[in-house]
Amino acid sequence: MTSTLLLATMMAAQAGAPAPLRVEVADLPAILAAVKAPGAQAVLVNVWATWCEPCREEMPDLVRFYRDHRAEGLRLVLISADDDDQRAEVARVLGGLGFDGPAFIKRGNDMTFIDALDPRWKGALPATFLFDGRGAKRQSWLGSVTYDELRARVSGLLNRRKR
């Protein structure tokens, strides 16, 4: 399986096509490590599912905001609440949007995961969380979020390059 993925990635790179999106099934410590990994000025974490219509409606805005601001230090971590056997569908949805960042399917105890992101969150989807570059939570959107709401809250955490 790994050699097949590596071969597909190499062939896509040679053809100039984007590499296939890798969706990892991960538990809370691995996901939090991706959130707190060095190198970002701000990290948006979005919890969604393929079966959640509001999640799929907001996803293009999230991915567009990420693309517009990743050069300024934004990282977007997407966490699917789908079951492990839906990995291909998760990858298809995100790949169709051109997403190329960290993508996970959550594994483990739901309440431990929910409380780790925000104890006020009851687990309803979608949910988006903003962390600063040190991993401190700065904002929660418990429900859908728009591009304009993201711009209003995230921009202050990002590097502004002089033009």
pLDDT in tens, 25-61: 999 999 999 999 999 999 999 999 999 999 999 999 9
19 has pLDDT over 70: no
Sheet holding 42-48, edge to edge: 23-26, 103-106, 74-80, 42-48, 127-132, 137-141
pLDDT in tens, 59-104: 999 999 999 999 999 999 999 999 999 999 999 999 999 999 899 9
Question: Pairing state of beta strands 137-141 and 103-106?
Answer: unpaired
13 has pLDDT over 60: no
Q: Which of 21-30 are b and which e, b meaning 16 or more Cβ less than 10 Å from the residue's Cβ?
A: bebebbebee
Taking the model in full, what pTM does it have?
Answer: 0.85
pLDDT in tens, 98-153: 999 899 999 999 999 999 999 999 999 999 999 999 999 999 999 999 999 999 99
Give the per-residue pLDDT at 25: 96
Alpha carbon distance 161, 163 (integer Å):
6
Tokens 């567009």 belong to 64
Amino acid at 42: A
Local structure of residue 20 (DSSP, 8 states): P
Long-range CB contacts (< 8 A, 24+ apart) of 131-138? Answer: 131/35, 131/36, 131/42, 131/43, 131/44, 131/45, 132/41, 132/42, 132/43, 132/157, 133/40, 133/41, 133/42, 133/43, 133/73, 133/157, 134/36, 135/32, 135/35, 135/36, 135/43, 138/42
Alpha carbon distance 17, 136 (integer Å):
36
